[in-house]
Amino acid sequence: MTILISKIETLFLEGSLEAICFATIIYLTRKETTILPLKDIKDFAERAVNSSLDKITDFERRMKVLEVLTQVRAASPEERHCQNFFS
């Protein structure tokens, strides 16, 4: 688990801005051809965002990393249900 969070943190801290997104996180957390449960991936992503923000000084990179939280929430079935309910 900590290895996966570390991989995501490395993406946030050193990866290209274009690569920082929830889809890349899904790719990083897969095991060969198996994708982990979405709930677990979301948890890893949120933890990595929270731990990385203190280390990021570049404004553009911070905003890109924060954008991942929006993508994580958009991928949540509960969020989509609420959005449809209020639409």
Number of structural domains found in the chain: 1
What's the confidence (pLDDT) of residue 74?
86
Return phi, psi of residue 30, to 5°: -75, 155
Q: What is the pLDDT of residues 8-30, one digit of tens each?
A: 999 999 999 999 999 999 999 98
**For residue 32, what pLDDT is reported?**
82
**65: domain range?**
2-86
Q: What is the per-residue pLDDT for 46? A: 94
Which own/partner pairs from 1-4 qualify as long-range (CB within 8 Å, at least 24 positions apart)?
1/44, 4/28, 4/29, 4/44
Give the pTM: 0.82
Band of pLDDT at residue 78, cut at 50, 70 and 90: low
The total of other beta-carbon atoms located within 10 Å of residue 84's CB is 8
